[in-house]
Structure 1
Amino acid sequence: MEPITAWLREKNPGLDGPIDTDEDLIEARLIDSMDFLEFIDLLEELSGSSIDLQEVTIDDFRTLGRVRERFLSGVN
C-alpha cells in the first residue's frame, strides 16, 4: 500500500498524518476526477492486471481497504 499512499501524498501535499484504511478517499477529496485515470494506471501497474471499468464501481476505489481487497489481494 506504500506506493498508493505515496501517490496520494504527492497529489495532496498538505496531507498530514496517516491515511486510515477506511477513510473515504473520494469524499475526503484525496482522489478527484482529474486524477482518477492516473490512479487506475497506478493500480494496474501494481497489480499487474488490467482493470475493466465495466466490471468495477466507484465503491471499489473509495477506501484503501477496498482497493487492497479488490485489486491487490494477490500482490505481495
Structure 2
Amino acid sequence: MESVIAWIHEKNPGLDGAIAPDEDLIEARLIDSMDFLDFIDLLESISGETIDLQTSTIDDFRTLARIQERFLSASVTAQA
C-alpha cells in the first residue's frame, strides 16, 4: 500500500499528511481521469494481476481501504 500512497502524493505535490483509509480519493481529486490508467497499471504491477475493468466499478477505486480489499489483499497475503 505504500506504493499506492507514494503515487498519490507524487501526483498531488501539494498534499500534506496522511490519507485516511476511508477518504474518497476521487471526490478529493487525488486520482483524476487523466491519471486513472496509470493508476490501474500501478495496481496491476503491485498485485501481479490484471484488473478487469468489466467487472470493476469506480467504487473499487474510491478509497485506500477498498483498493486494499479489492486488489491488494491477495498480494499482501502472498508476501507475508
Q: TM-score, normalised by structure 2?
A: 0.93
Q: State how far apart, in whole Å, the 2-side matches of 1:17 and 1:73 are.
A: 24
More helix by share: 2
Please state if 1:18 is matched with 2:18: yes
Matches for 1:1-76 after TM superposition, within 5 Å: 1-76=1-76
How many pairs does the alignment contain? Answer: 76
1:3-60, Cα deviation, whole Å (9 max, x unpaired): 0000000000000010000000000000000000000000000000000110000000
Shift of 1:75: 1.4
The runs of 5 or more residues in structure 2 that have no matched partner are: none
The runs of 5 or more residues in structure 1 that have no matched partner are: none
Superposed structure 1 runs of 4+ greater than 3 Å apart:
none
RMSD of equivalent CA atoms: 0.5
Q: Secondary structure of the residue that 2:13 maps to in structure 1?
A: coil
Identical positions, percent? 72
Q: State how far apart, in whole Å, the 2-side matches of 1:29 and 1:17 are.
A: 16
